[in-house]
Structure 1
Amino acid sequence: MTAPPEQIKTVAVRVRYFAGARAAAGVQEETVRIPRPGGRAVTVSDVIAAALNLHDEKLTKVLPACSFLLDGVAVRDRGVEVADDATLDVLPPFAGG
């Protein structure tokens, strides 16, 4: 039996980095754990902040230009709630032609 969402102490999110974001992070993917003080919801902004805390300024420079997919859906509002075991893809701008 799993605990109700309000009783989960942290949310674990798989963060996958692509292209320049991968180079800046130095890893292809990682699991980021975000605390839920008082059982509050965890948002995309919280996941991004937690990921930035794990890395140096290289990622800090790349992330503002990135777009994000949460479980395969484009994120327009970084206040969107993130469920435990979600996947957040970090996509830097891609050059095309």
Structure 2
Amino acid sequence: MTPATTTTLTATVRFYAAARAAAGTDTTTVEVPEGSTVENLLDTLRATHDAEFTRVLRRCSYLLDEIAVRDTSTPLPHGAVLDVLPPFAGG
């Protein structure tokens, strides 16, 4: 009998401003199961960070491979780059 294997994909997450401060880094690489969505990736990140990080994520917007994400059920492609952008103020 062949053991079951789970295929994963790797995504790069880049954090900016308050999101970078909450994450404690500007970039991280995350492995998630193939077929994962942006929300699945965010859940994986939340599981490894504190409540402040989760609070910051609630206010953020996201770019997936430089395209704005309006629906976090968007599937992740292999090699995805997710930018995490907190609200910016100023002019």
Unaligned runs of 5+ in 2: none
For the aligned residue pairs, the C-alpha RMSD in angstroms reads: 1.4
Select which of 65, 71, 86 maps to 2:59. 65
Q: Deviation string for 1:25-49 (max 9, x for gaps)?
A: 001010011124xxxx210101111
TM-score (norm 1): 0.84
Select which of 78, 82, 88 maps to 1:88. 82
Q: Percent of pairs identical after alignment?
A: 46
Select which of 41, 44, 48 maps to 1:50. 44
Contact 1:13 1:86 in 2 (8 A): yes
Match of 1:20 in 2: 18
Unaligned runs of 5+ in 1: 1-6
Number of residue pairs matched by the alignment: 87
Contact 1:42 1:82 in 2 (8 A): yes
TM-score (norm 2): 0.89
Match of 1:3 in 2: none
Contact 1:25 1:58 in 2 (8 A): no
Q: Return the structure number with greater helix share.
A: 1
Q: Which runs of 4+ in 1 moved over 6 A?
A: none
**SS state of the match for residue 96, structure 1?**
coil
